[in-house]
Structure 1
Amino acid sequence: MKYIKSYILFVLMGLAVTGCTMDDLKDDVNDLKDRVTLIEQQVKLLNDNLAVISYILDPQNKTISNVKKEGQGENQQYVITLSNGDQLTLTIGKEGTVNEPEITIGEDGKWYINGTSTGVTAVGENGKNGEGYPEFRVQDGNWQVRFGDGAWANVPGGEGIAGGSSLGDQIFESAKVEGNNFVVTLKDGTVHTLPIVATLVCTIDRTGLTFDDEDFLVINKGERTVIPVKIEGEKMQVTYPEGWRATLNKLDVADEKGNNYQLFIFAPSAETKALTRAAADNTADVTVQVQKGAFWAVDKIKVKNPRDYSNNLNKYEDGMAVTVGGFDIKQEEYGAATEITADQSITQGGVYFVSTNNVTLTYNLGSAGVNNLIIIPTNEDITTINLSVSTQVYLTGTFVCQNVNFTTTLNNNVLRLNEAGVNVVFDRCKITGLKNTKALMVPNTANTHYLNYCAIVNSDIRIEETEAEVIKNAGVAIINNMDCSRLIFENNIVYATHTVTGSTGQHLVNFKLITGNTRTIKDELILNSNTFVDVETSGGSGVTGLVYCKSINKVTVKNNIYWLTNPATNFINSSGNNSESTTTVIFRTADAMTDATGSNNYGYTGNTDMKFQMCYSKTRPDTVDELILETVFDTSDQTTFNKSTGTFIPKAGYTQYGAQR
């Protein structure tokens, strides 16, 4: 065992500094090897004998078909063959000196280790099987235990395995074959007489079959699998899970292994719900059983269809990542998920998979907030999830929405980030209800709280302000006064719905993707294939920009369309006076953009008094092309340009630019 043998290197290092002679060193190493071998043998003996005692306590309708005695003297062994072909090894040994855990069965039928209950049932009763038996190992000099394929845990009082000089067994006093019985006597004097039924056999031959990590045989929907079986006895029966079918077919001649039957298993054409590892029933078992007099022999095999990994919930529960907007969501980080099938309120954070189309969820948690709030569909058939937000979302972890109609009734900022390094993702969402003077995302404490990863992709942002609200000129921001490490804004439509006539300030003005002249995008900004309609970046505060910040480490800006039907040039500034601005821009940064790529970005301004350009002043790098000013929409065609429906399809020759719907 690697974890035991690793002690050799440790001891050799210690001996190297003691000045021992070569002979002393050889003796010490040989002694250590002997002790390592002894410990390995003790661990194997303990585990083998526990498997035997587990069978005695809970045979689960498996009988003994043969017992073979091996060895002589103090360490006799019995190889026990069960009716399903499994073999157990029982070693009868004297009291040993290796320090090993004390294993007992309590009056409550539970396994106890060193006097402490494990809570695991050892004795099958009332038709219910036991819950398994302990398996031991030695790790870093300590005893550890697990049940089934559960996690290893240190045994209380199981420290200091290194001592001892002889093997021992704490369970069995003696064993012998008497006629058709195997008689076993335990250390406490209890005698168990186990019948040997040589002509009762039920063995499913697993040779050549492939099982998954949970010991399931995976059979594709609608397919048949044929498995050899050895049967001796009478009154054969086969049971199988709901939706499946299984039959036995007797062979004319047994094969070389003695298999004289075939087990046909037919998988259902539709997926059946797979059991989790924690499942304690047998609804996944194909079971073959055969009778001989008063005795039964049973063997079984667990079956399931392959998991449907187009189902996000299946992927998540199986430990796989569900990716939304380039962001991975895994169970090991975000915990157990909740499946939603009907309208309900969000009463706490967590991961929610929605399995019914057009479900409506409401959020009204107030300042209590959430750590994580993740709302995603179980599969592509769930195209519409409604989320109504009536109080600010105080967020300290990750916020993700996919296929969500996100509506806020707040006259306030919506997501208030209350931690450094928050993640926010909107993918295939429709965002409505943003108010003038407010933002979608703000920090709870400026200079402290910031975005780690932010992706808004494949989404529509619809801003429905009245003319009276629009001319306030305070504007709407997606991200306000907050740093961001990585920002992806791709394949979105952003538009204001009100009618624009003339140049008196009826656009939504001061619209910002990110705003804050001291803020930075530390890693990268990706701004590709978006359509912006009648959301003007200038306003009463002067020429700022769609992206208004101190610096951007790296930027890519390609294939966007920026359309302003008739932009304003006169605005109300913070003092309440009229101010004039004749330029609207996409980027305004205090620091030059040194790692930037930009091309195929189209712009239009219906007011010739308003200049429209990529960057403020002369800060555009040579690697970013200037906006191409073209009339890319036919606004007279309501089937291709319609604010009421959010339809914006460019004219022929330009359809590859802007958001792709």
Structure 2
Amino acid sequence: MNYFKSILLTAFALFALASCDTDDLRDDVDNLKDRVSSLEAQVNLLNDNMTAIKRLLEGGQSITNVNEVSGTYTLTLSDGSTIKLTQGSEGTVKIPEITVNTDGQWEVEGVVLTQNGTPVQAVGTPGTDGITPKFQITKDGSFWQVSYDNGTTWEDVKNEKGEKVSAVSSGEGGSTDTFFESAKVEGDFFVIKLTSESEPISIPIVKDVICKIVEPTEGFKNGVWEIGYGKTATTEIEIKGENIIANGPAGWTVSVSDIDESTNKATLSVTAPANAATLTRATADNSCEVTVQANTNASWAVAKIQVKAIEIIDSYYELYKAGGTITIGGIEINKETFKDAVYISDNSPIEKEGIYFIKEGITTSYNGTGTITNLIIIGDNSQVKSSLNVNKQIKLIQPTASQGHFICKNINIVGTTELNNQIFTYNTDNNPFKYVIFDQCQIVPAPGKHLLYLSTNTRSIENFYIENSIFKSEETNEKNVISLGGSTSQEYQNVVFKNNIFYCISGKVSKFSLFKGQNAGITKCTIENNTFINMETATTAMVYTSKLPTISIKNNIFWTNTTGANDCYILRIGNPSTGDICVNNIVYKSMSYTWQMCYGGKLPFAGAEELKSVTSNPFDGGTFDLDKGIFIPSAEYAQYGASIN
């Protein structure tokens, strides 16, 4: 916590002015460090115990084993997970009285905690999960504060009189960080008595009920089990009890095989809906929970796993030949709309326009020297990307109002050193190119180059989409997705960046832009659920445009651990926007420079939210792998950033 550093710095300044020998100074400093460490440890202890109590109150799990060592109780639950409760000791923190009322709501010092006027539930209600508040002490070390969004924002804790709740003891006798008065095993129950509760909490200890889903060996990504539409997947479960119940959401089929009584193991089979049309409205996002339950007498054990139905296509080419339709960015691709597809099963280069399917694992190249109106390149197997080395710049034209298409799906696209240019450009005046779409691609522009650069004022792209993709950059001063000359003032209708990762392989990009066109305009710009790693912006901002009336920017993560050289901005707009969506965007940074939503500090429209600076790393407890380009937030930040299949 930052205020601990402030305390230490102030203490060192005072000690420097005092006249005492160095041994006394060292003792005082050591004592102060011990007090600071103790204070921080006790606050952390409170938050850990809050999490544990919430899990126990939620139910759905019984305790199978209790182990106590030096006041810390390790509880093994029936799904195989463990939680810890620590009783605490005499200390410097005065723990507030915390309890859960009969309505399942958190109470502190006799007052129901509320968020925006709504009581905060410890125990979830149907369709709504409970919340675990997080506590800290104010920077001066005096009062308690509470957060309901994992530390993004804080507010003072107040008692029944509306007074701030003190975090330090008063009078003699010290204070205590003890969260609960007693904890013990009584018969078949683990009994906890909170210091603020008159009645104890009893949780059953049932050794004869087990329910645990073993992590699937295939298709398990980012904590979600991905299963192809209409396909069945299996995994092992450990289960023991009198009654076994397995359920899935509407459209899914779930079953459990016979149980091996010697090992308590069985097979869980899950079948996804046949296609997206069979999903109910409630599960329209394809993602939901499969639940397995077992019981002994009145005690139940429950195990859950998140599942998601996805498209798994062994061969897009075979689907195309059979008369099927492949939809990319809303464009339907079939034998009627785009004829005479070519299947590439070796390293044969692409040299002219057309529709191409590249065999899984194959690397081919683009060596064309002419112009292109329609070029569609698809990696054949939906689960394995094919590769395209761009050795010659892809030069798009649209001589008439016909619908020009440059579409790539499931492709690793690399601008080679031979290219020494942007991956593609557009060479027709006064007629915007209709569609540029990248879906499930990995894009690596040539060193020092952008994805697209246009300097002619009469040229633009009408619809530009990058979705479900990864954009990689070397360390460089400037790297842009769309880069326009300073005088270019054309209009772009739709510019969409959704569910992508933009990252620097090592070091940082000092000036990164999704759209750099200070005199150009965008009718609508969508930036949703993207992850940006060490992609800084300077004053050019991530989107620099003369006008942007409609915005949808939400659920993005901006992350940097570099020293920084400039303030960073997401939007820089010449004329005010009229509005739409600008919410739930977070930044985690080690740099001292400012990150803001809009250049100049003024939000783009009424109701828009500023970037939220978070103090805890959103990838702690998740995955952060620069070498592999895998960035998975922890469960607390799961709604933010990209989730790429």
* TM bin (shorter chain): 0.3 to 0.5
Q: TM-score, normalised by structure 2?
A: 0.46
Structure showing greater radius of gyration is 1
Q: TM-score, normalised by structure 1?
A: 0.45
